[in-house]
């Protein structure tokens, strides 16, 4: 079968999923992203899921178009671009019959992906059992096993602690101190100072400021107007002042995981042919 006929459905279009999509598209696979009606990506400049809001999105050399239905999606795929459907339940799968499904939602739990969805199924991170829920699980925890293919068992459990950057971990991520609608006052790529506001949460009693937890570059921030609950992730700061360009390019982790997904698909294909 030619690669152009091997449709891959990727559930989720966040920053890690986008790294996967780029790797697959560059390798000749057509890719359809399935997203929710209101994606909550923080690293929005490197997330193809932004097409849900804007109609189109572009990350590095990959173009994505939001489509109303499968017929529109087929036309976009024929132009060798990424198509996106708002379909969080993956209800379109019986109609489109993909060659493979990749769960890249990164919800830390299984939101409904099963082995019956496609001949080849892959999931990223914890919440899945390889050989039971999907064919292969890919480790997403930073460290020695990042990108490792698991044909049995599960990925490491989520620690809730972000990876270290310049010695900072938990400190570089900001969460909502209360529920309400988030209003950003700083943009991705801005240099922010510790304890100065990067946004506000609008509540019934007024606005609550969200202060920068570090001095550094704002690598990601939630879309303005998004409704949040207490503890919801709002923003991510990189303390390295020289890393401005990284706000707009796919991360090392996303590229690694993208390569692992490609490896997993070829592994399953080779195993099938033996």
Taking the CA atoms of residue 221, residue 34, residue 246 and residue 192 in that order, the dihedral angle to the nearest 10 degrees is: 0
| Model confidence at 168: pLDDT above 70 | no
Query: CATH classification of 170-239, choosing from 2.40.50.100, 3.40.50.300, 3.40.640.10, 2.140.10.30?
Result: 2.40.50.100
Q: Where in the chain is the domain with CATH 3.40.50?
A: 3-158+252-273
pLDDT digits (tens, 9 = 90+) for 96-105: 999 999 999 9
116 burial (CB, 10 Å; 0-12 / 13-18 / 19+) is exposed
Residue that is written with structure tokens 């890719």 in the block: 31
Could you tell me the pTM of the whole model? 0.93
Residue 274: what pLDDT?
74
pLDDT digits (tens, 9 = 90+) for 3-58: 989 999 999 999 999 999 999 999 999 999 999 999 999 999 999 999 999 999 99
d(CA 141, CA 99): 27
> Rounded mean pLDDT of 168-174?
72
Residue 249: what pLDDT?
96
Grouping H, G, I as helix, E, B as strand and the rest as coil, residue 247 is helix
Residue 204: what pLDDT?
87
d(CA 23, CA 134): 20
Altogether, the residues listed in the chain come to a count of 274
> Rounded mean pLDDT of 227-255?
92
| Model confidence at 162: pLDDT above 70 | no
pLDDT digits (tens, 9 = 90+) for 111-151: 999 999 999 999 999 999 999 999 999 999 989 999 999 99
> Rounded mean pLDDT of 71-92?
97
Q: Where in the chain is the domain with CATH 2.40.50.100?
A: 170-239
Q: Do the Cβ atoms of 212 and 141 come closer than 8 Å? A: no
**Across all residues in the chain, what is the average pLDDT?**
93
| Model confidence at 220: pLDDT above 80 | yes
Task: Give the residue, 165 or 209, on which the prediction is more confident.
Answer: 209
| Model confidence at 167: pLDDT above 90 | no
Element (H, E) at 261: helix 252-273
β-strand partners of 174: 235
d(CA 63, CA 78): 13
Q: CATH for 3-158+252-273?
A: 3.40.50
């Amino acid at each position: 079968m030619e690669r152009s006929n091997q449709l891959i459905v990727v559930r989720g279009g966040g920053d890690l999923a986008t790294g996967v999509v780029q790797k697959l598209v560059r390798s000749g696979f057509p890719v359809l992203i399935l997203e929710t009606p209101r994606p909550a990506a923080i690293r929005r400049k490197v997330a193809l899921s932004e097409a849900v809001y804007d109609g189109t999105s572009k990350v590095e050399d990959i173009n994505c178009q939001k489509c109303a239905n499968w017929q529109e999606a087929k036309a976009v795929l024929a132009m060798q671009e990424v198509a996106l459907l708002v379909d969080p339940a993956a209800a379109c799968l019986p109609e489109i019959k993909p060659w493979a499904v990749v769960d890249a939602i990164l919800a830390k739990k299984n939101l409904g992906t099963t082995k019956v969805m496609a001949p080849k199924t892959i999931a990223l991170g914890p919440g899945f059992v390889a050989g039971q829920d999907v064919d292969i699980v890919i480790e997403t925890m930073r460290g020695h096993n990042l990108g490792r293919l698991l044909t049995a068992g599960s990925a490491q459990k989520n620690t809730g602690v972000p990876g270290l950057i310049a010695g900072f971990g938990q400190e570089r991520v900001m969460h909502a101190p209360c529920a309400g609608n988030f209003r950003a006052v700083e943009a991705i790529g801005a240099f922010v100072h510790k304890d100065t506001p990067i946004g506000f949460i609008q509540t019934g009693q007024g606005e609550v400021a969200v202060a920068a937890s570090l001095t550094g570059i704002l690598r990601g921030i939630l879309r303005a107007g998004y409704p949040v609950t207490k503890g919801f992730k709002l923003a991510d700061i990189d303390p390295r002042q020289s890393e401005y360009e990284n706000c707009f390019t796919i991360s090392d982790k996303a590229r690694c995981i993208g390569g692992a997904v490609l490896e997993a698909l070829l592994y399953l294909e080779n195993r099938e042919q033996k």
